[in-house]
Amino acid sequence: MTVVNAVQRWLLGLMLVCYLLAGVFPVPGEMLRGLTLALPLHVGVLTVSMVLLAVMLFNAGLGVRVADLREVVSRPVRLVLGIAANALLPLLVLPIVALGLRSWPDTAEAEGLVVGLMLVLAMPIAGGAASWGQNAGANVPLVVAMVVGSTLLSPLTVPLGMHLAGQLVGPYGTGTLDDTATVDVIARTGAGIFALVSVVLPCLAGIAVRVALGEDRTRRILPSVKAVNTVNILLLCYLNAAGALGQALARPDPDLLLLALGLSGAVCCLAFGCGRWMSRWTCRDQPDRICLTFATGMNNSSAAAVLAACWFSHRPEVLLPILFYSLLQKIVAGMAAKLPRPGPPGVAAESARA
């Protein structure tokens, strides 16, 4: 599995290559995204991107040890704090972003960027928070439990996030989005069903399969699962980017690209900064502080991109901030892992005296 480890080390660069391919050769990706399967009872359609997302979250669930979750749940305060911090952050960040975009000359672009950022921030904590946190010395069982808890709450938090987006881009927000009705529909039904079918159920299925297989057999297959997941992530990156980047490059708008990149970077840094600040004042143990930082800063951007591609495929300004955020949160996570982490006032002195 040396090749898999090498690929994972270069995952960020490979994602950039996928984005480049999506911009230059978007047609294969658009064709794959156009393949759909009608679900029974008229509940919607199943797309290739939704299947890839489900596989990714199933593999994430397969990596969760139930014994670790039991230990963390027995001390729930830290767990609830991490989940709540990630879920409540959009309520603080998005109104500021929407207010700042009031002066942008193109109202449709401004509203699309707000919806795109809301989709990212409303999603549950990214599974990658566990691996990045592990590299930084986090309490891995705790951050995994935060990921699972946030995922289970996503059928509630994602619609609430979209409702907030609808308020911000409606008549009393930055303007009147031509897709305001679409945002309302997602908030009422689409987001909850999407989160349940594409996010929660695959994750729970992965956890159940691990329990059924047992720890020994699961450990034997995990390297193969990791290899499949790496290919799956890269293909999902290409499919999600094919529509937005293809449209953006076909009708270049440097101002929009720079604004989307700048906003995504600012919001991403703000999310990590809020997590770092809260961890300093609420957690005494350094591994727990690292957990809170990464839980607050990292969201499942792949799920956000799939949902955006399903409902806003004709609006590249919605997908662009999601794609940029996906890359930038990994860069910021790598930087955050290397930063010194001072404890709360008095803790350093107590440690020195000990």
The pLDDT tens digits for 89-138 are 888 888 888 778 777 877 778 888 888 888 888 888 887 787 777 667 77
* Alpha-carbon span 212 to 318, nearest angstrom: 40
Residue 178 CA: distances (Å) to CA of 94, 109, 337? 19, 11, 41
pLDDT tens for 31-45 read: 887 776 766 555 566
Instruction: Give the start-to-end residue ranges of the domains of the chain.
Output: 26-337
Share the mean pLDDT of the chain.
Answer: 76
Cα separation, 273 vs 55, whole angstroms? 31
Neighbour tally for 188: CB within 10 Å: 13
Q: Is the pLDDT at 281 greater than 70, yes or no?
A: yes
Cβ count near 300 (within 10 Å)? 28
pLDDT tens digit sequence for 163-211 = 776 676 655 444 444 455 556 555 555 566 777 777 888 888 888 898 8
Predicted TM-score (pTM) of the model is: 0.78
The values of phi and psi at residue 125, to 5°, are -60, 135
Q: What is the mean pLDDT of residues 301-306?
A: 84
- Statement: 26-337 belongs to CATH 2.60.40.3670: no
- Residues in Cβ contact with 233 at an 8 Å cutoff, skipping those fewer than 6 apart: 11, 15, 56, 302
Q: Is the pLDDT confidence value at 345 over 60? A: no
Q: Is the pLDDT of residue 298 over 60?
A: yes
The string of DSSP letters for 78-138 reads: HHHHHHHHHHHHHHHHHHHHHHHGGG-S-HHHHHHHHHHHHHHHHSPBPTHHHHHHHHHT-
Main-chain phi, psi angles of 303, to 5 degrees: -65, -40
pLDDT at 320 over 70: yes
d(CA 4, CA 19): 20
Q: Give the type of residue at 71.
A: E
